Structure 1
């Protein structure tokens, strides 16, 4: 417990600093680091790191994914780049067919594409909505993590009905509902708090309004997606007979252990903000 607290006391200020600086380059650098570490953790967990060629291509692609979407000429040719990545992975399988099985190469390709894209969705939010990036990113992360925390506490004290004991014995339906409610409550609080901060900064005048209903409904879905991500990660760890994906965060595990609930939440939030932006300027 002490180790977990110490790690949190170090990691949380770093995370707050990255968000507060609100620098696009810093976001993409951070997502590059997280993507490479997360993909590496998955390859180690599944023991597919032994295939040096596919692993090297996988980690390189994870590292360049944020750059692809940051630099416009590369972004404009993203389909061609992804096509080339798939071709390279297949060629690697053909030249090393005695050791590289298709299911291994397919898994490596899958995690090399999905994990970096999921994490980069945080940077995409920063690039697409710079004026409200800090709030939107905090909202997205908090909705996922608070839902997880709410589920833990509610499940600990009131949980009776196991949700999926074969995958995660401690998860209960009571905790699941508690987590969703917790996310919804925090969404309401964050929405009105953001408006209040805007009013204070501008001398009592509101310059925008926040659609708290939309954000609350979104938070409920984000919390549910967080559970899907968490359970999926738990299933992978159980099948691979490991407790954590890594130990880069002492007491907490690896990057994937901390961001498993965000892997679906961040892309979902980014897409929903594009469909309807919940912050409206007041003329």
Structure 2
């Protein structure tokens, strides 16, 4: 637990200078790096990283998505999937088709989830605030679940996928997310917006419910892939947490949800 807390604190410190460049291409670059590293970890877990052509196609797609607009994401995804099949067709026995099928959703979802941070920035002037909400929906839920589950967890949630997760932890993470969403909305209203705009706190509280649940689904989905690949963690780049994707697994699910919600619902008027 100590190592996990120290690593988390260091990551939080490193996050601040990145957010300083939120409105620049440097932010896109950082997101692209995280996306590429996460995809590499997925391929490594499945043993698919040893094929140079397959690895190159996946990494280039992961690193390229944060630099294209949401409009062009579908076009890039089409070419990515087409190239995947080209590689599979011309590769002899060095790629396991079943393993490719197992990890393929993550190969698309992870870059899209990371790029959603850029889509939020480019779509809405309050993008940084919504990015913080995505962090709350994923990481506060995870932190709340971890600590509540560690001290009071007794009933297993879905043991066959993630043996350490408990019902009590899930409830703790869920409540933590709701409280922090409401607190973040209040702070943004009173300390940043003032009389220039109005934050609908109750609507954001309602948004926190699916965000927390989807964050848990993202965590479990990543664990499901790990179990099928027979690995405990996606890597060891973040001591106490595991790999990059072990830290961003729920984030890549929550951020697109917030982007979709913001696109259709005016939470700030």
- Give the TM-score of the pair, scaled to structure 1: 0.87
Q: Is the contact made by 1:246 and 1:254 (CA closer than 8 Å) also made in structure 2?
A: yes
Q: CA RMSD in A?
A: 2.0
2:18 is matched with which residue? 18
Q: Determine the C-alpha separation between the residues in 1 that align with 2:29 and 2:106.
A: 19
Q: 2:239 aligns with which of 250, 254, 273?
A: 250
Cα displacement string for residues 207-252 of structure 1 (whole angstroms, at most 9, x for unaligned residues): 1111111111111111111111111222222332322211222222
The answer on 1:89 being equivalent to 2:78 is no
1:202 is matched with which residue? none
Cα displacement string for residues 157-206 of structure 1 (whole angstroms, at most 9, x for unaligned residues): 3322211112222222222122111111111111111111036xxxxx52
Q: 2:226 aligns with which of 228, 237, 253?
A: 237
Q: Is the contact made by 2:145 and 2:171 (CA closer than 8 Å) also made in structure 1?
A: yes
Deviation at 1:36, TM superposition (A): 0.5
Cα displacement string for residues 98-140 of structure 1 (whole angstroms, at most 9, x for unaligned residues): 33343344455533322101111111111111x2222111111
Q: Determine the C-alpha separation between the residues in 2 that align with 1:76 and 1:185.
A: 34
Point out the structure with max Rg over C-alpha. Answer: 1
Deviation at 1:78, TM superposition (A): 4.4
Q: Determine the C-alpha separation between the residues in 1 that align with 2:68 and 2:48.
A: 25
2:161 is matched with which residue? 167
| Structure 1 moving runs of 4+ over 4 Å | 75-78
Where in structure 2 are there 5+ consecutive unaligned residues? none
2:259 is matched with which residue? 270
Q: 2:178 aligns with which of 155, 178, 184?
A: 184
- Give 1 or 2: higher strand fraction: 1
Aligned residues: 269
The answer on 1:98 being equivalent to 2:87 is no
2:128 is matched with which residue? 134
The answer on 1:143 being equivalent to 2:137 is yes
CA distance 1:243–1:268, shift in 2 (3 Å): same
Deviation at 1:8, TM superposition (A): 2.9
Q: Is the contact made by 2:102 and 2:225 (CA closer than 8 Å) also made in structure 1?
A: no
Deviation at 1:81, TM superposition (A): 3.3
Q: Determine the C-alpha separation between the residues in 2 that align with 1:156 and 1:277.
A: 38
1:226 is matched with which residue? 215
